[in-house]
Amino acid sequence: MRQRFKPWAKEKLIENPKYVSVEPEKMKGKWHTFFGNDNPIHIEVGTGKGQFINGMGKQNPSINYLGMELYDSIIITALDRILEDEKPNVKLIRADASHLLDYFEPGEIERVYLNFSDPWPKSKHAKRRLTHESFLKRYETVLKKPGEIHFKTDNQGLFEYSLHSMSTYGMFFNQVSLDLHKSDMEDNIMTEYEEKFSEKGYRIYRMEAQFRS
């Protein structure tokens, strides 16, 4: 999706170091100091406009949440949401997930969320999918054992690919839903895309996968 360029966004991000890190490699091994406590840290890779990460922060005040997003024009909306509520347990990283190991020490994170990631449907682009083996290796490294990935999508192809990729990698599944909004899951926090797609009647797929300790 093409995003409207916002030339002022980068400066605003830099002006709010309390809530957003634009140089996350400098925080490697020190993320608890960013939050000022030793609570567990969960990250959302591809946080978009921040609706999910903000909702999770409200729902779970004893957990620290980091929303990772690459594009200034998108993450700025997430920052605005955080500034409005001033939740101390929700912060942002402007960063590329492919460099995850540059930002976190092994075991520094306790859970990864992947919500409505780009499906990259062409086979030649499979390595760009956030559930490709190369990304799973990165998540396994930064996650405290036994680490979990919580995944949601409306794309059946990506869901099936991810199930196969994670299973082949040796992960196991604590929960798999082929129609989330018709399941008995309570306290589901929806993303912007999830609201949009569910209103159109699209099926939402969800799973919780865990690495073997």
122 is in an annotated binding site: yes
Q: What is the mean pLDDT of the segment spanning 113-139?
A: 96
Instruction: Say what the pLDDT of residue 39 is.
Output: 98
Instruction: Say what the pLDDT of residue 2 is.
Output: 46
Q: What is the mean pLDDT of the segment spanning 151-166?
A: 97
**CA dist., res. 112 & res. 99, Å (int):** 15
Rounded (10°) angle between helices 72-85 and 51-59: 30
182 is in an annotated binding site: no
More confident residue, 110 or 212: 110
- Could you tell me whether strands 109-115 and 41-45 are parallel, antiparallel, or unpaired per DSSP bridges? parallel
Instruction: Say what the pLDDT of residue 4 is.
Output: 59
- Mean pLDDT, the chain, whole residue set: 93
**Encoded tokens for 197:** 């797609």
DSSP 27: G
More confident residue, 72 or 2: 72
Q: What is the mean pLDDT of the segment spanning 3-29?
A: 86
Q: Would the pLDDT of 6 be above 80? A: no
195 is in an annotated binding site: no
186 is in an annotated binding site: no
DSSP H or E run through 110: strand 109-115
- pLDDT > 70: what percent of the chain? 97
Residues β-bridged to residue 98: none
Q: Would the pLDDT of 8 be above 80? A: no
The residue behind tokens 């930002």 is 103
Q: 2-7, long-range: CB within 8 Å, 24+ apart, which pairs?
A: 3/71, 3/73, 3/74, 4/73, 5/73, 6/72, 6/73, 6/76
Q: Distance from CA of residue 148 to its chain's centroid?
A: 12
More confident residue, 114 or 187: 114
Residues β-bridged to residue 43: 66, 112
179 is in an annotated binding site: no
Q: Determine whether domain 9-210 maps to CATH 3.40.190.10.
A: no
Q: Write out the catalytic residue numbers.
A: 118
**CA dist., res. 21 & res. 184, Å (int):** 37
pLDDT tens figures, 37-93: 999 999 999 999 999 999 999 999 999 999 999 988 889 999 999 999 888 999 999
Helices and strands, number each (H, E), in the chain: 8, 8
Per domain, the residue ranges of the chain are: 9-210
**CA dist., res. 150 & res. 169, Å (int):** 16
Q: What is the mean pLDDT of the segment spanning 180-195?
A: 89
Q: Would the pLDDT of 109 be above 90? A: yes
Q: Would the pLDDT of 166 be above 60? A: yes
38 is in an annotated binding site: no
